[in-house]
Amino acid sequence: MRILILSTLILVLAGTASASTWETDSAHSHLGFAARHMMISKVRGSFDQFAAVLTFDEQETTRSSVQLTIQAASLDTDNDKRDEHLRGADFFDAGNHPQITFTSRRVERSGDRLILIGDLTLRGVTREVAVEIEELTPAVTDPFGHRRMAVSVRTRIDRRDFGLTWNKALETGGVLVGDEVDIYAELELIRK
């Protein structure tokens, strides 16, 4: 009986030995978004304050997980007036909902692609979203002895699903702000 318990414990520990924790290097990471303006062009912006923690299973990537926290007020579209409007009650309502979070539930394979499925909470509303992992680099060691890797991800959401419904109709048809928002990130991660 002791041998069975010991063997089971060794298998459990061996299964978790390949999992490691990685955190965002904010100086070398970017989190951006883009939405249509007047149905003709895209306005791009970014969030300057965010942190991701990745639990990465090197043996089986689909057992990995991620937790991302974004400070809503840190958005920047390079236009102060627009940024103030986006931080306000018509859009992110950052005063009442200071954080945007994404918590993964699972990683799925779709052919040779990996899809991260998880809960995005924005403006107090949580919805399941699928995030495509476009690139996951092999880990390297930097000149200071730290292990680093990078991941590029992309998704598209309908902002109305999260209560961001403000808009203006245009005289020529269409609306001022597109409903679909592209979200993309280039994250450099350091192993802890």
What are the C-alpha distances in Å from 59 to residues 41, 108, 115? 43, 15, 17
**pLDDT at residue 17 in the model:** 54
Least confident of 50-54, 69-73, 164-168: 164-168
On the question of pLDDT at 18 being above 60, the answer is: yes
Q: How far apart are the first and last CA of the chain?
A: 37
Q: Structure pTM? A: 0.84
Residue 29 class from Cβ within 10 Å (0-12 exposed, 13-18 middle, 19+ buried)?
Answer: middle
Determine what percent of the chain is predicted with pLDDT higher than 70.
91
pLDDT tens readout for residues 135-145: 888 999 999 99
The CATH number, out of the four listed (3.40.50.2300, 2.40.128.110, 3.40.50.300, 1.20.1370.20), of the domain defined by the range 18-191: 2.40.128.110
pLDDT tens readout for residues 171-190: 888 888 889 999 999 999 99
On the question of pLDDT at 105 being above 70, the answer is: yes
Distance in angstroms (rounded) separating the CA atoms of residues 49 and 26: 8
On the question of pLDDT at 78 being above 90, the answer is: yes
Instruction: Determine which helix (DSSP H) or strand (DSSP E) holds 85, and give its type and residue range.
Output: helix 80-87
Every domain of the chain and the residues it spans = 18-191
- Region 74-79: what's the mean pLDDT? 96
